[in-house]
């Protein structure tokens, strides 16, 4: 029996691929993207104690590190870290329940909540540490649930979750374009984080469309993809600048 090894394509070669460019030089670390993501995606807050145990549910976080010592100390450029929607995602093959699967149509890394049995293998295998696990049913007292976005599933205990590139917004834009008999236009919609970002440090769009803003930015300068050497084919390009 010969199992053909699937051909590994460059991230840009995938058709229908959504991607993101993040400019760390202008990211101010203000956390607007983190708040916007939480509001859009019904992400629960976990409280002080669970936050202290590293169980906070941020789908996007701003990383920063220190370099040097006083007085020559510097903070590294703020680094928004979110699911990189890998073209060859380490989280996918380890899921026994096929809850984290690849969408070939959109080249997105999907998380199917009602398949997830909570083994947490995917989170352990994610080199970016961007998956969050619902360790409890966290309390959101009335009337807070009035704010829930009806387009996004509310998750409960024992389920893994992560950034979806706001797939509900992608689908809504695609549905609208389809009903009008056209393609989705570049900039017609964007993810919650990119929409909120006061510094316009986050750009989202189609990376397979050379005309899109995100493609043009991605090929503009010295963009890097994090942990690219692992062969994960991330969809997010970072610019450090400076």
Partner 1 sequence: MTEQFSRRDFLKLAGLGAATTAILTGCGPASRYVKREPYQQMPEYNSVGQSTYYATTCRECAAGCGLVVRTYQGRALKTEGNANHPLNLGKTCARGQATLHGLYNPDRVQAPSTGDWDSAIQTVADALKNYKPGEVAFLMGMAPDHLFDLVSDLANATGMNGPVRYGALGMFEARATLSKAAENLFGQAGLPWFDLGGAQVVFSFGANFLETWLSPLPYTRGFVGLREGETKLRGTFVQFEARMSATGAKADHWVPVRPGTEGLVALAIGKLASELRGGAMPRVFSSVNPAEVAESAGVELEALHHLAEMFVNFNVLAIPGGAALGQSNGLEIAEAVLALNALSDNFGKPGGVYLSALAPNQTETSRPASAEEMAAFVEKMKSGAIKALFVHGVNPVFELPAALGFKDALANVELFSFATFPDETAAEAKHVFPDHHGLESWGYQRVATGVSLPVLSGAQPVVSPFYDTRATADVLIAAAKLAGGKFAEALPFADEVEFIQSKVGALMSEASGSFSAADAATFMAYFQQYGGWFKNADALIAPDGSGVLNGNVKAAEPEFAGEGEFFFVPFVSPTLAEAGANKPWLQELPDPTTTVMWNTWVEINPETAHELGLQNDDMVRIVSEAGEVEAYVYLYPAIRPDTIAMPFGQGHTAYGRYAEKRGANPADLFGVHFNEAGDLAFGGMKVKVEKVRAAQSGVGLARLESRIGVYGEALGEEH
Binding stretches for partner 1 (CB under 8 A): 25-26, 28-32, 34-36, 38-40, 45-49, 51-54, 56, 58, 61-66, 69-71, 73-75, 78, 129, 141-150, 192, 195-200, 241-242
Residue 223 C-beta: closest distance to partner 1, Å: 15
The structure tokens listed for 22 are 């993040």
Cβ nearer to partner 1, comparing 58 with 102: 58
Pairing of strands 18-23, 202-206: antiparallel
CA distance 39 to 58: 11
Cβ nearer to partner 1, comparing 93 with 241: 241
Cβ nearer to partner 1, comparing 101 with 152: 152
Residue 1 C-beta: closest distance to partner 1, Å: 37
Question: Strand, coil or helix: what is 139?
Answer: coil
* Residue 84, number of CB atoms within 10 A of its CB: 27
Residue 78 C-beta: closest distance to partner 1, Å: 7
CA 55 to chain centre: 18
Residue 27 C-beta: closest distance to partner 1, Å: 9
DSSP secondary structure letters along 173-216: HHHHHHHTTSPPPTTS---HHHHH-TT--EEEEETT-TTSHHHH
Residue 198 C-beta: closest distance to partner 1, Å: 4
CA distance 170 to 155: 20
Cβ nearer to partner 1, comparing 5 with 65: 65
Cβ nearer to partner 1, comparing 11 with 22: 22
């Amino acid at each position: 029996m010969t199992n053909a090894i699937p051909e590994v394509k460059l991230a840009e070669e995938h058709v229908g691929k959504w991607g993101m460019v993040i400019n760390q030089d202008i990211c101010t670390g203000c956390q607007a993207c983190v708040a916007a993501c939480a509001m859009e995606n019904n992400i629960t807050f976990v409280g002080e104690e669970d936050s202290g145990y590293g169980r906070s549910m941020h789908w996007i976080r701003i990383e920063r590190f220190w370099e040097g010592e006083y007085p020559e100390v510097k903070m590294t450029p703020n680094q928004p870290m979110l699911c990189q929607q890998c073209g060859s995602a380490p989280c996918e093959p380890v899921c026994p329940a096929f809850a984290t699967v690849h969408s070939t149509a959109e080249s997105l890394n999907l998380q199917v909540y009602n398949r997830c049995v909570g083994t947490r293998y995917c989170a352990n295998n994610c080199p970016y540490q961007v998956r969050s696990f619902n360790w409890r049913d966290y309390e959101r007292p009335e009337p807070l649930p009035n704010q829930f976005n009806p387009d996004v599933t509310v998750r409960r205990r024992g389920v893994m979750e992560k950034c979806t590139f706001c797939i509900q917004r992608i689908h809504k834009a695609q549905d609208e374009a389809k009903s009008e008999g056209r393609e989705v236009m570049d900039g017609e919609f964007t993810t919650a984080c990119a929409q909120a970002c006061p510094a316009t440090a986050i750009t989202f769009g189609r990376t397979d469309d050379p005309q899109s803003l995100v493609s043009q930015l991605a090929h503009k300068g010295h963009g890097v993809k994090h942990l690219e050497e692992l062969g994960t084919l991330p969809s997010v390009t970072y610019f450090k600048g400076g």
